[in-house]
Amino acid sequence: MRLIINGRQEEIEGTEIGLPELFRLRKVRNPEAVTVELNGRLLKRAEIPSAVVRDGDRLELLYFIGGGGALPPGARFDTKAVHAGAPDGDRFGATVAPVYQCSSFAHESPAALAEVFAGRRFGHVYSRISNPTVALLEEKVAALEDGIGAVACSSGMAAITLAVTGIASCGDEIVSGRGLFGGTHALFGRTLPRLGITARFAGSADADGFSRALTARTKLLFVEALGNPGLETADIGGIARIARRAGVPLVVDSTAVTPFLMRPKEWGADVVVHSSTKYLNGHGNAVGGVIVDLGAFDWGGGMFPDLSPYAERYGELAFLARIRREVHRDFGACLSPMNAFLTLMGIETLGLRMPRHCDNAAALARALVEGGAVSVTYPGLPSYPQHALAARQFGGRFGAMIAARLGSRDRAFRFIEGLVLARNLANIGDTRTLVLHPASTIYAEFPEEERRALGAAPDLVRICAGIEDPADLVEDFTRALGRI
């Protein structure tokens, strides 16, 4: 039979063929990431597995790089962490992702390069837009979050910036939870207003507060699943219901909990962002960020005119297509192939590391309470105000961060100076235990009242438990606490 595929006639044996078999014949790596227009009608993703093409049919195929790779049905977390985003068809049989450390990719003809640029043929052209190593990371994270695809970028802040500006434009508003990392608060409170995007704020656990903050200009809701450093647990299910009623997407920063503790899709979120610098990488050796579309939001609605052309061409992949082909490309916030490789290696052990991080944090929190800290905030403590909500959302584990108040800035400094194993630096999610005085570092530029509102009190120390032996950590922290 004869088919017209992307304007070219092709001969296929038989009188009809299923689309999955056609993809196999054409050696399509990720059929989930192909947008299909059959005889002028854009197919939904759910239709593709059962779709059949016949003699004379016309197909338009658009390829999106960063879609989830194929895995056995029902593959569990650790299996995805190891096998999703694995190299496929490497001529030397590599099982670890090759590092494509190059700026550009050659093609056999000008026509072939033009088709790749247009998305009508799978391939890469320039590493600012996409790169084979980075694409493997995108596939892996999309699989872990049960998303339809992902775009990786240069940092977690880049991921947040691209996600927001991919949805909201000049004159629009967003509503965000107050429990924010300092960089995100600065972005929302200072930088985005210069682009004409206004942020309103509500308590991260107060779904009704989000509802009250909505206006006719609201284009998205944003929360951190677990605030940093204040450790407020967002009521993602409640806020998702508000977002649904308003017809806008909910974007969740899930950096502090990772897909091991919680998949925001199960609670109604539409987009997930990660600073992959933290737990996904897990070893403090690569900066990066990832945006994942969870496939639940209809981007073709009239509220998003900048996304409408992409919805007409890419269907459910509209948001990611706009990020990839416009916002990510134009801001130039690309992830280096080497950082993607290091993060791919880190994710393979995420399911082994996170239980140890959480268990060590619980042990340290108990030791700090018993050692006489003025106050200890940790979601796993019964005294934590949202303990029941955190237990439900995070599957009975509570993350690796602790906020300890020690009575004064001087006592906080002396406590940090007295630690031997913990490293004093501005990061979380390392194998090593990390401590930081947020008020004098990340939040130093903010006025005192604003610092306190963000959870960065003068006497607060942020602790991020590593994966060392818990007994050694408890001894170290108990000794330091006793000396102040």
pLDDT 10s digits, 274-305: 999 999 999 999 999 999 999 999 999 789 99
Residues 438 and 431: their CA atoms lie apart, in Å, by 20
Could you tell me which CATH number the domain at 77-167+249-347 has?
3.40.640.10
Residues 133 and 135: their CA atoms lie apart, in Å, by 5
Cα 166 off chain centre by? 15
Q: Give the tens place of pLDDT for each residue, 393-428.
A: 999 999 999 999 999 999 999 999 999 999 999 999
Residues 154 and 326: their CA atoms lie apart, in Å, by 16
First to last CA, the chain: 82
Q: Give the tens place of pLDDT for each residue, 46-103.
A: 898 899 999 999 999 888 776 655 677 789 999 999 999 888 767 788 889 999 999 9
pLDDT above 90 (res 32): no
Contact status, residue 98 vs residue 132, Cβ threshold 8 Å: yes
Q: At what angle do helices 470-482 and 409-418 cross, to 10 degrees?
A: 140
Left if phi > 0, otherwise alpha if psi is -120 to 50, otherwise beta: which for 168? beta
Q: 350-482: what CATH class?
A: alpha beta
Residues 308 and 312: their CA atoms lie apart, in Å, by 6
Q: 2-63: what CATH class?
A: alpha beta
Fold match flag (77-167+249-347 vs 350-482): no
Q: At what angle do helices 470-482 and 350-371 cross, to 10 degrees?
A: 30
Domain borders along the chain are: 2-63, 77-167+249-347, 350-482
Q: What is the pLDDT of residue 69?
A: 56
How does residue 310 score in pLDDT terms, banded at 50, 70 and 90?
very high
User: Which residue spans within 197-350 are E strands per DSSP?
Assistant: 198-202, 218-224, 250-253, 271-275, 289-293
Q: What is the pLDDT of residue 70?
A: 61
Q: Give the tens place of pLDDT for each residue, 351-390.
A: 999 999 999 999 999 999 999 889 999 999 999 999 999 9
Bridge partner residues of 11 (DSSP): 2
